[in-house]
Amino acid sequence: MSDATTPTPLASLADLSELAEQERTLVLPRFTHDDAWRLGCLLVEMAREQQAAVTVSVRRGTQRLFHCALEGTTADNDAWLERKARVVERYGASSLMIGERFRAKGSTFEESSRLDPDLYAAHGGAFPLRVTGAGVVGVAGVSGLPQLEDHALVVAGLTRFLEDVRTSWHT
């Protein structure tokens, strides 16, 4: 007999190899306070273009360098960002990747991680900020959309940010 409050293992939401490729390629040459501001503003701009009610957070270590809550969001979005960021900090991978790893094993993060779900959420939307030669130095996160869309927005923002950084180095 199944308790209605007990989550059942979910089917995979995203391809693990695709998620791994994103993390392998989205590596920054550096990450400064100014970079955090530019990345955060870019994510907000992209969200506005999509008319998405999201909260955006960019942090280095435990310091929040950028935070913006767009119209239509609530304090719950802040809480989700914190929980997803803790997953990235603990595992060094995107919050969606971690959730997918558990699902691939036929379980869920909530059932098998032994971590407090009030503090940790392996739902898409938080992505590691990895710097060449330094590893994970921070987290960029979005909350307010379905988890795959949160993840996709952060990945699109990081991709565009990296393109801008590479272009500015060659001019």
Sorted by where each starts, the structural domains of the chain and their CATH numbers stand as 16-146+154-165 (3.30.450.150)
Residue with tokens 């360098």: 65
- C-alpha to C-alpha distance for 58 and 104, rounded to whole angstroms: 29
Cβ–Cβ under 8 Å, residues 151 and 125: yes
pTM, rounded to two decimals: 0.89
Is the pLDDT confidence value at 38 over 80? Answer: yes
Q: Which has the minimum average pLDDT: 6-10, 37-41, 73-77, 131-135?
A: 6-10
Average pLDDT of span 148-152: 96
Is the pLDDT confidence value at 57 over 90? Answer: yes
Is the pLDDT confidence value at 147 over 90? Answer: yes
Two structure tokens written together for 49? 């273009």
Average pLDDT along the chain: 91
Maximum CA pair distance of the chain? 65
Predicted confidence at residue 9, as pLDDT, reads: 40
